[in-house]
Chain A
């Protein structure tokens, strides 16, 4: 993992989806890969398409009409109404909570990991090598398995059941620090820093106005990775929270399924809830996908 610097520098040039020049120039369609990819695409999209269609149906239609035939009898709007009025509109609360956890957590995490990565990448001081080794080792430690010990400790201190209990344990990501460190090494040039030093800039100023700016691609990637990680985290809020007012969407929907699990009559609420929780994230995701650099992930750990 230590030889990764060159990997990032090289991979840093290609963007996630950048097609090479003239990649499809001339010639007939190559059917085999095209068809394989389309099968893959259908597999990935099919459940989402189904949920969109299913959410247009009323409960009786759900069980009686063809699976992929949408209904236009107003089922969609009554389902939405049922979802948003369920338990005095707690669904909206869950959505807001999810945003608080994911945006708050990812922002703070990016700052914490970006600072640490810059410090480890651009400075040598006593203990820095040792500290970096510890972080690389911690990459192997599955964070999710710490959720229960984290709960036990926080419960002992009486600090569970609040926003901080869900956000704080997720702020330090060894992988994110590692990513920021190697990116800082590769992209923040020493000559530039030296020139700034000669011009009399303080170390802090150099970090804030040169380092942080040059590290932006890595920071965006870390933000998105952490955002998705926190948005998707189930176990940590599951153990930390027992007030449904604090639940994120995932917890809330799970709770809805438990409550309605016995009675198929309530399925439409869960189905439309699933749809509503996918759409905004998928939209943001599709919009941002050109900005986030999966290549950093692959280049970052290239041995």
Chain B
């Protein structure tokens, strides 16, 4: 694209000022401040009885060592990964399946189904969790909560993943479906003339062409999974199966606000951001490679 003719104008710079200022204030500065805090620690007050105000001193890598050496921190990461391993493939798999069904020929009740599956996206995560919490609770469950223990040591991971899947299924489905509608129809007609069945067209032609979109929604789902916080936090009051440090963000929250150790919280929080960015970049790269190969 040809760059617009240069002219002496400061409009673009002016238009960018609010975004840049807010970005510096609420993304860069907090990040930098968290890094700074992560290298500090509170030293108990001096004086004869330790009554002077406590001072903040340089701690080196102490907080990071503590976070790395903390088994519970790794357990929380493990639980988060477990929920992701259940939830992400389920989200992508089912939303792709539904999108392909919407796109299939002579499917009935398309409008109703699309709307119904999209509906949960309008329900806030916390409210969705409350909703499912009642579905799981033995006392109120309409889906056999008195015979199935939804908060067992294994089932709880499915219970949490289910809430997350329920909330994002429809959004992913619509994204995939829209991209499906953008594909050239001639291809499908040609395949049909060659005698390909509806199923073959879906699996051999539509699915490979969807690869870039599937990459996108997978990366988004992964990012979502790494930020898991609402669902376990909201379910915590109704079950003992979820601890206050169940997933990493809950762990960071507990460090910073319950144990009042903002320094360790900052270290864990920074560590988590680094891990997340690394995981996202890695996932993106891998999925892009897969997508490229399948395009050939």
Cβ-defined partner of B234 (8 Å) among A33, A118, A193, A257? A257
Q: 8 Å CB contacts to B: which residues of A236-272? A: 238-239, 249-251, 253-254, 257-258, 261, 264, 267, 270-271
The answer to whether B124 touches A33 (Cβ under 8 A) is no
Cβ-defined partner of B198 (8 Å) among A28, A30, A193? A30
Q: 8 Å CB contacts to B: which residues of A4-56? A: 5, 10-11, 14, 16-20, 23-24, 27-30, 32-34, 36-38, 40-48, 50-51, 54
Measured between beta carbons, the chain A residues less than 8 angstroms from B140 are: 54, 62-63, 67, 267
Q: 8 Å CB contacts to B: which residues of A118-167? A: 118-120, 122-125, 128, 131, 138, 140-146, 148-153, 156
* Given A172-B27, A235-B229, A249-B124, CB of A116 within 8 Å of CB of B106: no
Measured between beta carbons, the chain B residues less than 8 angstroms from A62 are: 140
Cβ-defined partner of B7 (8 Å) among A42, A138, A203? A203
Taken together as a complex, chains A and B put the C-alpha atoms of A267 and B229 apart, in Å, by 23
Interface size class of B (residues with CB under 8 A): 35 or more
Is A281 located at the chain interface by the 8 A CB criterion?
Answer: yes
Measured between beta carbons, the chain A residues less than 8 angstroms from B169 are: 40, 44
Size of A's binding interface in residues, CB under 8 A: 115
* Given A128-B12, A231-B124, A270-B130, CB of A122 within 8 Å of CB of B101: no
* Given A250-B124, A270-B130, CB of A146 within 8 Å of CB of B119: no
Is A169 located at the chain interface by the 8 A CB criterion?
Answer: yes
The answer to whether A298 touches B176 (Cβ under 8 A) is yes
Taken together as a complex, chains A and B put the C-alpha atoms of A117 and B181 apart, in Å, by 27
Taken together as a complex, chains A and B put the C-alpha atoms of A68 and B135 apart, in Å, by 12
Measured between beta carbons, the chain B residues less than 8 angstroms from A258 are: 237
Measured between beta carbons, the chain B residues less than 8 angstroms from A172 are: 19, 22-23, 26-27
The answer to whether A24 touches B107 (Cβ under 8 A) is yes
User: Which secondary structure dominates where chain A touches chain B?
Assistant: helix
The answer to whether A278 touches B127 (Cβ under 8 A) is yes
Which of B45-53, B72-80, B147-155, B270-278 is the interface stretch?
B270-278
The answer to whether B256 touches A112 (Cβ under 8 A) is no
Measured between beta carbons, the chain B residues less than 8 angstroms from A10 are: 182
Cβ-defined partner of B288 (8 Å) among A116, A190, A289, A303? A303
The answer to whether A119 touches B16 (Cβ under 8 A) is yes
Taken together as a complex, chains A and B put the C-alpha atoms of A94 and B95 apart, in Å, by 33
The answer to whether B107 touches A302 (Cβ under 8 A) is no
The answer to whether B238 touches A261 (Cβ under 8 A) is yes
* Given A271-B134, A281-B123, CB of A149 within 8 Å of CB of B33: yes
Is A285 located at the chain interface by the 8 A CB criterion?
Answer: yes
Taken together as a complex, chains A and B put the C-alpha atoms of A277 and B124 apart, in Å, by 9
Is B37 located at the chain interface by the 8 A CB criterion?
Answer: yes
The answer to whether A194 touches B19 (Cβ under 8 A) is no
Taken together as a complex, chains A and B put the C-alpha atoms of A243 and B199 apart, in Å, by 56
The answer to whether A149 touches B238 (Cβ under 8 A) is no
Cβ-defined partner of A37 (8 Å) among B4, B107, B126? B107
Per-residue CB proximity of B94-133 to A under 8 Å, as 1/0? 1001101110111111111111111111111111101111
The answer to whether A14 touches B107 (Cβ under 8 A) is no
* Given A113-B19, A140-B280, A234-B125, CB of A302 within 8 Å of CB of B237: no
Measured between beta carbons, the chain B residues less than 8 angstroms from A251 are: 126
Per-residue CB proximity of B204-244 to A under 8 Å, as 1/0? 00000000110110000001001101100110011000000
Measured between beta carbons, the chain A residues less than 8 angstroms from B27 are: 138, 141, 143, 146, 172
Taken together as a complex, chains A and B put the C-alpha atoms of A40 and B98 apart, in Å, by 8
Cβ-defined partner of A234 (8 Å) among B5, B34, B126, B216? B126
The answer to whether A281 touches B134 (Cβ under 8 A) is no
Taken together as a complex, chains A and B put the C-alpha atoms of A14 and B183 apart, in Å, by 11
Is B39 located at the chain interface by the 8 A CB criterion?
Answer: no
CB-based nearest B residue for A185: B1
Interchain nearest-CB distance for B46 vs A (Å): 23
Interchain nearest-CB distance for B170 vs A (Å): 7
CB-based nearest B residue for A271: B134
CB-based nearest A residue for B198: A30
Is A115 located at the chain interface by the 8 A CB criterion?
Answer: yes
A-B interface, 7 closest residue pairs, ranked by CB to CB distance from nearest: A67-B142, A33-B101, A149-B34, A41-B116, A116-B19, A149-B30, A119-B12
CB-defined A-B contacts under 8 Å, sample of 6: A37-B98, A63-B140, A67-B141, A141-B277, A148-B266, A303-B215
